[in-house]
Amino acid sequence: MAPWPAPNPCTSPLPAPTYELRVADAPAHIDPAAWDAAYTSSKSGVAGMTRALAAEWASLGIRVNGLGPGYFETEMTAGFFADAEWRNTMLNKLPMRRFGELDDLIGATVFLCAPASAYVTGQVLYVDGGYLASI
């Protein structure tokens, strides 16, 4: 059984197609050298699951998209951000020459939830300061 409530088209009528599921993702599956194998593999799986569920659930009116944050300071990344040499190295790799702030994710999240993205499904929207475009 799925850990989320998925509509059963055989037993319940669906309202207008407004369902959305957003799956978090990170660019580790594209730049695996920066991460370990298990983490990179899990992110590749999330990106694949995003596409597979988008195709599977589209006829139910459910859109599945991912949000791919770049380098943001979090509890998990605090050790990296505490290292001045790492910070300088990474800042030089980012075209925008800054790390992401949580507010940078708001616009992408609003877009994925808004009617403006009604025809968007199976995509990962990367919010990474241009990092993936530069590698």
Active-site residue identified among 39, 119, 126, 131: 39
Residue from 134, 131, 2, 124 nearest 63 by CA: 124
Query: Catalytic site residue 126?
Result: no
Nearest to 29 by CA among 3, 49, 4: 49
- Known catalytic residues are 39
